[in-house]
Amino acid sequence: MNKILYKRFEDCIPVKGYQRSLLCDLTRGRHHFLPNDLANILQKNIIRKEEYTQLEYAEDYFDFLIENEFIFKTTEQELGLYPPMSLEWDYASKISNAVLEIGQEKTYDISKVLDQVMNLGCRFFTIIFDYATDIDELAEIAEKFEYSSVYTVEFICKYNYVFFRDNLNVYRLEAGLMSDYFINRDKLSKKDILKIEKQFDKANKETEAFTIADAPEELHSICLVVTRDCNLRCRYCYAYEDAFNNQKMSFNMAKKAIDFLLNNSPDVENYGVVFFGGEPLLEFDLMKRVVAYCKKEIIEKKGKGVGYALTTNGTLLNDEIAAFFKKEQFNVQISMDGVKSEHDKNRVFPDGKGSYECTLKSLHFLKKHQVPFMIHSTFTPNIDFFEAVSELESLKISYGYGLSIDVKDASKEITSFEKIDIEHLRNGYQKIVDLYYDKLKNDEKVYCQNIMNTLVKVKDRVGKEYGCTAGDTMISVLPDGEILSCQNFQKMNEYYEGNIENFNLDHVKIKAHHVDDSETCNECWIKYLCGGGCFYEKCLENKSVFKPSKSKCEVLKIQTEYFLKLYVRLEEENLIDKLEESFDTHYELFI
């Protein structure tokens, strides 16, 4: 009678640790934790029953290992059917990775050290400077790898710049001391600490307070949600389930909304009207009537100005519509994600077909009629940020991007940033700022408004004390006349403000608040670059306008960190004054 044996799959390797062990499946790239005494048994490729019966839990573990294909049952007679698999790993180089630490008082020739290590076939280098180096020294070392077989070189340097949150100033300190001040302060002498703090004080005193870019003013714009219907079914949309709602705004209601704006803000010289949805181009005829009404009531009767803006998925655009936009001086925002595969996965028609090519075609109509427009992309946690930015830059059209909003349980895997790989995100942003640096250095246009807004704010020291001024400078009106401080609150009835028929502006519940009013934001180092974020998203996730999304804050801080690193790099190479001419100008939208 053949005895039942257990055999471990050749590519499943036990790795013993101090307190517990791992069983690693090399083919599937997975692992499972094991007790050390069970790992001792599994070190053998063939396990007999008498070897594990002393472990009371072994039977249960073996059932689990069989089910997950770490081991399998066999017999003595069948063992010959499973020849051993070679696990030998061969690498052409003597070493694969090297870490080189460089001190300021180095007594060796770096070139010779690098040559010797590269002769050993090393492919990956990390070079650590224990002092504040400069861009010229980095460039000199980088040149040594230019024609080598090295795959990657990582430089780790000490910073000698500090960003002052309260006046948006990037200040260069005496090289070498700043990192010690923040990292190894306990090792510094009192004299060195006092020296650094004097530099801080001097920097702050020499810098005037920043300019405020977005202080709330009186109501000057109105957003008309002309329909809650949409011809797409975008998987990450906050109004996805609402896309089947065919509620449309009547012309009479649109007139009441315009009249409400004019009656409540009689002293405004230039008004703004934004068309929103759903997909607003489903109601193009209504839009034309609203524009005609605004001409009559605002331009002809009052002798004042009016501007129009629109957010659209672009799939319904044609020559007639684009010509109308040009004639009436519309600013248009097209929703389009950078990577075609991601766009077509998330931005789909009701039949599931992707909309990328259709949206791309709409850009042709806008260009043909010279309509000012920009692209807005939604970045989900699954998208490759660098790939998306590269694709968008290749279009040579101004664009901005925002992070997807986690709005429903069904979309968490698509929209939630709670489990994003931070290291992967950092690597992506490093590639992004390298791309922007190369373009700026080569006098090429950069089309991303996110990076422009950060760099120019820091350069000109223009601060942002409010995340948004909706509810103050603009209100939104739904098809049935219900008023919202922001159009994104469409599906949150608890935040409806009232009805256009009898609403008093003094009763707006959700409106702009100063970033310092939030205890969380008040201590944040990027608060005057961020302004506190979107209060719709804060209400959605935390039921409070004062509590931001923790995961989104983390992403934004990382983004700002890398954008500031780019700023310092441009400062070092005297390229900072080229910012405005190197960025593609765009038309300011009301939304």
* CA-based nearest residue to 20, from 39, 48, 4: 39
Distances (CA, A) of 315 to 228, 284, 334, 415, 418: 16, 13, 10, 23, 32
Q: What pTM did the predictor assign?
A: 0.69
Q: What is the pLDDT of residue 35?
A: 86
User: Measured between alpha carbons, how far is residue 587 from residues 330, 398, 399, 471, 584 in Å?
Assistant: 10, 9, 11, 22, 10
Terminus-to-terminus CA distance in the chain, angstroms?
Answer: 80
CB 333 within 8 A of CB 363: no
CA distance linking residue 587 with residue 325, whole number of Å: 14
Across-strand partners of 403? 379
Please state the φ and ψ torsions of residue 238, each to the nearest 5 degrees: -65, -20
pLDDT the model gives residue 551? 83
Rounded to an integer, what distance in angstroms lies between the CA atom of residue 587 and that of residue 372? 7
Give dist(CA 536, CA 540) in Å, integer. Answer: 6
Give the helix/strand (H/E) hosting 160: none
> What is Dmax (Cα atoms) for the chain?
104
In this prediction, residue 439 carries a pLDDT of 92
Q: Which two tokens stand for residue 158?
A: 């000490």
C-alpha to C-alpha distances, 213 to 151, 342, 402, 526, 582, nearest whole angstrom? 44, 34, 20, 15, 22
Q: Match 């409010």 to its residue by tokens.
A: 466
The amino acid at residue 348 is V
Q: How many CB atoms lie within 10 A of CB 169?
A: 17
Provide the b/e sequence for 217-247 (b: ≥16 CB within 10 Å).
eebbbbbbbbbbbbbbbbbbbbbbebbebee
pLDDT, position 587: 37
For the chain, 591 residues long, the average pLDDT of each consecutive 10-residue run is 80 86 87 86 81 71 85 85 74 77 77 85 83 70 80 73 70 55 62 72 61 72 95 82 74 97 94 96 98 97 96 97 97 94 94 95 95 94 92 94 74 75 87 93 91 86 84 93 90 87 83 83 88 85 84 90 89 81 48 30
> CA-to-CA distance for 475 and 497, rounded, in angstroms?
10
Burial 563-585 (b: 16+ CB within 10 A, else e): bbbbbbbbbeeeebeebeebbbe
Interatomic CA distance for residues 405 and 425, integer angstroms: 18
Q: What is the rounded CA–CA span in Å between residue 186 and residue 181?
A: 8
- Which of the 8 DSSP states describes residue 552? H
pLDDT at 171: 63
Query: How far is residue 311's CA from residue 333's CA, in Å, rounded to a whole number?
Result: 5
Give Cβ neighbours of residue 267 (< 8 Å, ≥ 6 apart): 218
Neighbours of 74 (CB within 10 A): 16
117 conformational bin, left if phi > 0, alpha if psi -120 to 50, beta if neither:
alpha
Rounded-to-integer distance, Cα 211 and Cα 461, Å = 6
> Angle at the Cα of 77 (from 75 to 83), degrees rounded to 5?
90
What DSSP state is assigned to residue 283? G
Write the DSSP symbol of residue 450.
H
pLDDT recorded at residue 483: 93
> Mind giving me the DSSP string for 460-475?
HTEE---S--BTTTEE
pLDDT of residue 591: 30
